[in-house]
Every structure is written in C-alpha cells, then in structure tokens.
C-alpha cells in the first residue's frame, strides 16, 4: 500500500526566506503526486501536481516541486516566502489509476514571521 | 471556476444521533470521495463512489457509515449513531473521467462535525 511521509511537522521562517518542505512516498508503481495547501479555517486547495513529463512542476503562488523518482521524493520549494504563505501543507499521492484514492501525508505547518 | 459545495458548514450533534452530511459535486464529475480530518491530524480517506456504488472504503468506514447519491446532484455521507471520535472536518471531493492534463481532485470547503 502506498504511504506518504512529511518529516517536518512545523517550520518557522522569516519573510523572504527560502522554503523547502520534504515529502517522500512509498510505492513501487506509477504515481501521481500533489501538494495541497490549507489556509487557516479554509478547505484544501491544490498547489501543484505531477503525473508525467517534466519532473520540475510549477504551481500557483510561486511554488514549485521536483519529482525525483530514484529518491521517491517530491519536495516543495519557494524561493522567497511571504507572510500570506502561513498555512498547512499536505503532500499527497495516488497510484494505479487517476481515479483511485489520494493518500495524504501528515502535513507541515508553515509559520511565517512578518 | 466550478466548485464542490458542502452543507452544512458546521453541525453539532449529540452522541448517538444520526447525521447526514451533504455534498454537491461538480456537475460533470463521475468519481466522488469523502475524507475526514480530525483536528490537528492528517486528512484520511473514507470512501470512494463511482457508478452508484462504493468502489473503495477504508477501515474507518464501518457499518455506522453509508453513502448515497439520491439524485443526480447530491452525494451524502450518513453516520447512523455518532460517537465522540467522529468529531472532525469532513471533506467531499470529486473528479472527472479520463486522464486530462488538468486532472485533479476538487475538494469542498468541508463540514465541521462536533459530537457532544
């Protein structure tokens, strides 16, 4: 069965700092990978996704992620964070078919100091 | 942009009572899902639904839970006899069919269920 690990539970950064959130997944087959963001009191929103092609994926709000198949990783990056990026970030994977369930990681809480 | 809508946004119920959470998926979507997020914990898969039947369910989705698509637009989650540990945010999601470049789940804004 597939699983997702996010090793950083809480990350605190100052504005303009660079961000990298780690995500590793466990599954031997073809996967689709996602990053979702949940702003305080709001629902899950898709930041970016990967399912084929260029392993460097660009998403909304200046975020990007790189799929490294050999490392089973899909780390999220942003060169310069803003206070408005304060949120919970979830890495997720689904496997087998595009309609199968999504498995979420435990999430990383990002706090940005103004 | 099309949305998945969920009602109510917040429901408080007494332990042992039945609750029905409602979702209206995007109109041309065919696959529907329920997830839940207990406060401070990760988002967990409950059940997937396609072609008017459950296609997959997790161990959380026991006999107390059921899903239904009673008409062409609504997708409901029923909890027959709520327990304190059912308190969580429940998210509905849907996707269309086919491997489109813009594929991705659309989540609703959630229903916060509080069992007292």
DSSP assignment of A51-96:
SSS-SEEE-GGG-EEEEEGGGTEEEEEESS--GGG-EEEEEEEEES
Place A99 in a pLDDT band, splitting at 50, 70 and 90: low
Higher-confidence residue of A113 and B102: namely: A113
Q: What is the mean pLDDT of residues A97-106?
A: 79
Q: CB neighbours (10 Å) of residue A39? A: 13
Question: B5 to chain A: nearest residue by CA?
Answer: A43
A with B: how many residue pairs have Cβ under 8 Å apart? 55
Per-residue pLDDT, B99: 45
Instruction: Kindly list the structural domains of chain A, giving each domain's residue range(s) and its CATH number in brackets, ordered by start.
Output: 3-113 (2.60.40.10)
Q: Is the pLDDT of residue A55 over 80?
A: yes
For position A34, what pLDDT does the model report? 92
Which pLDDT value is given to residue A101? 84
Tokens 């027959």 -> residue: B80
pLDDT at B100: 46
Region A50-70 average pLDDT: 93
Over range A95-99, report the average pLDDT.
63
* For the ranges A43-47, A74-78, B4-8, the one whose mean pLDDT is highest: A74-78
Residue of B nearest to A105 (CA): B42
Contact B95 A44 (CB under 8 A): no
All residues of chain B having their beta carbon less than 8 Å from the beta carbon of residue A101 are: 33, 45, 48, 56
Rg of chain B taking only CA atoms, in angstroms: 14
Q: Is the pLDDT of residue A114 over 70?
A: yes
Query: Which domains does chain B show, CATH number per domain?
Result: 5-97 (2.60.40.10)
Quick one: what percent of chain A has pLDDT higher than 70?
96
Using one digit for the tens of pLDDT, what is the confidence trace for A5-35? 998 999 999 999 999 999 999 987 788 899 9
pLDDT at A38 over 80: yes
What pLDDT, on a 0 to 100 scale, did the predictor assign at position B7?
A: 94
| Per-residue pLDDT of chain B in tens (116 residues, 90 and over written 9) | 678 999 999 999 999 999 999 999 988 888 899 999 998 888 999 999 988 899 999 999 999 999 999 887 899 999 999 999 999 999 999 887 654 434 668 889 899 999 99
What pLDDT, on a 0 to 100 scale, did the predictor assign at position A2? 75
Q: Does A13 touch chain B (CB under 8 A)?
A: no
Highest mean pLDDT among A46-50, A71-75, A94-98: A71-75
């Amino acid at each position: 069965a597939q699983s997702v690990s996010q090793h950083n539970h809480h990350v605190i950064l100052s504005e303009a700092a660079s961000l990298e959130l780690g995500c590793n997944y466990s599954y031997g087959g073809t996967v689709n990978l996602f990053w979702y963001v949940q702003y305080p009191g709001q629902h899950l929103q898709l930041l970016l996704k990967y399912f084929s092609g260029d392993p460097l994926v660009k998403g909304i709000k200046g975020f990007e992620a790189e799929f490294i198949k050999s490392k089973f990783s899909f780390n999220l990056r942003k060169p310069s964070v803003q206070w408005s990026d304060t949120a919970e970030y979830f890495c997720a994977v689904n496997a087998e078919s595009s309609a199968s369930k999504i498995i979420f990681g435990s999430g990383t809480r990002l706090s940005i100091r103004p | 942009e099309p949305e998945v809508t969920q009602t109510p946004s917040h429901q408080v119920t007494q332990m042992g009572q039945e609750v029905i959470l409602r979702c209206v998926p995007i109109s041309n979507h065919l696959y529907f899902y329920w997830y839940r997020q207990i406060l401070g914990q990760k988002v967990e898969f409950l059940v997937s639904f396609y072609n008017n039947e459950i296609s997959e369910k997790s161990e959380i989705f026991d006999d107390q839970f059921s899903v239904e698509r009673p008409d062409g637009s609504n997708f409901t989650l029923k909890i027959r006899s709520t327990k304190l540990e059912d308190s969580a945010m429940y998210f509905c999601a849907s996707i269309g069919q086919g491997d489109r470049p813009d594929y991705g789940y659309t989540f609703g804004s959630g229903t916060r269920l509080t069992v007292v």
